[in-house]
Amino acid sequence: MKNTVLKYGSYGLLTGVVLFLISILVTKSLDYSLQEILGYVTMVATLSFIFFGIKHYRDKVNNGVVSLGKALAIGLLISVLVGLGVAIADYIYTTTINPDFAQEYLDRTIEIYETQYSGAELETKKAELTQQMEDYGSSGFMAALMFVTVIVIGFIISLISGLILQRKN
């Protein structure tokens, strides 16, 4: 199991970092909402290695048999490796490549709010968003949030993959 997790987790980690870096270059001019959607698509693409890892373990390592529990374990461990890759790439991006990301995001979101709200409601939304960015806008927190997000999505993919691929003696 260890070799399968390391192999497919590494594939996912490398794919995640490469897709993250490509998306930085390609999506600079896109709206943050669209960038967010592409980010989730990237996460799902990198987490597809969960399915292939479980299938490889079942077919090549464990004589065509895998339980749901073992499939979940394999999938979650692969998710951890992918999550580390995505979190590290996110941290590097927000500390080195674009250290002004949090402020740019705040400014752009406020611009959007100004088209959607007015008066006291606008001021309330601005204050809430500004406070959230102060509380949660650090590079470390954003990287940790990415890690947790990848793990949650990875769990869902692991569960679905495990249900599809499980086979008993």
What is the distance of C-alpha 104 from the center of its chain?
21
How far is Cα 150 from Cα 2, in angstroms, rounded to an integer? 20
Q: pLDDT band at residue 74, thresholds of 50, 70 and 90?
A: very high
Taking the CA atoms of 159, 160, 162 and 168 in sequence, report the sign of the dihedral they define: positive
Percent of the chain that is helix, strand, coil (3-state, to 5): 85, 0, 15
Residues 97-151: tens digit of each pLDDT: 888 877 887 888 888 888 888 788 888 888 888 888 877 778 888 889 889 999 9
Direct distance between the N- and C-terminal alpha carbons of the chain, in angstroms, rounded to an integer = 18
Residues 21-62: tens digit of each pLDDT: 787 777 666 677 777 788 788 888 889 999 999 999 999 999
Domain that holds residue 91: 2-165
pTM, two decimals, is 0.81
What domain count does the chain have?
A: 1
